Amino acid sequence: MKRFTALLLISALMFGCFATGCTDSRRSNSDADREETEQTRRRGDGRSSLGDVEGPRHNFNNVDETATFETIHAEAPETPWVLENNIPFSNGNIYEYYNQFLYRTSDHSEIPTQTLNSIATIQRPNVRHYPAEMPGYTVYEVNYIETFPTRIIVPPTASGYSTTWEYHGVGFLDYYTGTTYPVINMASSINSFCVSGNVEYNGETYTVYYYEYRDEDTLYNEMTTDAEGNDIWEFTVTNTETAYFIVPNGYDGIVMYVYSADDTYRTWDEVCADNAPLYTAPHVFGEEGERVEDYTFISIAELG
């Protein structure tokens, strides 16, 4: 399992005097913002209106982290990697495991307890594509919602606490070569990123971009009591994730994948150690320990 798939989300929910929220830090760099504004003029308008179906739903000028990957020299194999490796595609929702913890806000130490649910649902993505403003390029927009119906026991002695959960981010790879797209780990300190770089193919050089944005919404938040008298903190949160790929016209090789095996054995210390916006460079899927049977795959071209 790649580290970038281990994402941490810290709850900012409030429930009476029980929970305290967390403040996310944000990258602020006016020079970088000005530079990205000029890039956006060349590749897309970055319109942010959710009701605008003609262009991007988010503003490409506004991301928390950026990274640039080294030039990729791409060669299409005789048999596409997906076919060579018998990759099975799913067409429905994806179910994945997550790890939830209760912790003290005063010192960020774990409060031992029991979680009553550990499975989230990723809805089948919505996909659309449209021309980029940069001639010869297309924007692929992939939008999906992940729902976390959390339930956790609050010990009678607990006070000044909040909750954290770790879940797996969706990754993307190339249908033809099996090369994973470079990505920045969506840690609790960021909710968006942009990765860009050059790809050389058939003697031509193409500059491609991958953006991702995360928006959180709380649907339900209650404290209840079970038959044994335990206080149960239950809330349902949805993450709306939107990925944008600015790629050359005619490219149709985007494949989504997500780690769907059970790793609820991970500890509080392991989860905290992974809570950083780390960059993961591209590599061929499987070269760094990934097993096909641990993942669920969706062909983006088949959805839009």
**Which of 205, 224, 249 lies closest to 71 in space, CA to CA?**
205
Q: Structurally, how many domains does the chain consist of?
A: 1
Q: Is residue 304 domain-resident? A: no
- In the predicted structure, residue 87 carries a pLDDT above the cut 50: yes
Tokens 């769907």 -> residue: 260
User: Cα 245 to the chain's mean position, in Å?
Assistant: 14
Tokens 């942010």 -> residue: 48
Q: Is residue 149 domain-resident? A: yes
Q: How far is 68 from 185, CA to CA, in rounded Å?
A: 14
Average pLDDT, the chain: 84
Q: How far is 278 from 8, CA to CA, in rounded Å?
A: 12
- In the predicted structure, residue 253 carries a pLDDT above the cut 60: yes
What's at 272, amino acid-wise?
C
Give residue 101's pLDDT: 94
Q: Is residue 101 domain-resident? A: yes
238 SS3 class: strand
Give residue 7's pLDDT: 54
Confidence of residue 259 (pLDDT cuts 50, 70, 90): very high
- In the predicted structure, residue 126 carries a pLDDT above the cut 60: yes
Confidence of residue 198 (pLDDT cuts 50, 70, 90): very high
Neighbours of 39 (CB within 10 A): 17
Taking residues 125-147, what's their average pLDDT? 95
Confidence of residue 168 (pLDDT cuts 50, 70, 90): confident
Q: Which residue range is the domain that position 17 belongs to? A: 3-299
- In the predicted structure, residue 42 carries a pLDDT above the cut 70: no
User: What percent of the chain shows pLDDT beyond 90?
Assistant: 67
Q: How far is 17 from 19, CA to CA, in rounded Å?
A: 6
Q: What is the pTM of this model?
A: 0.84
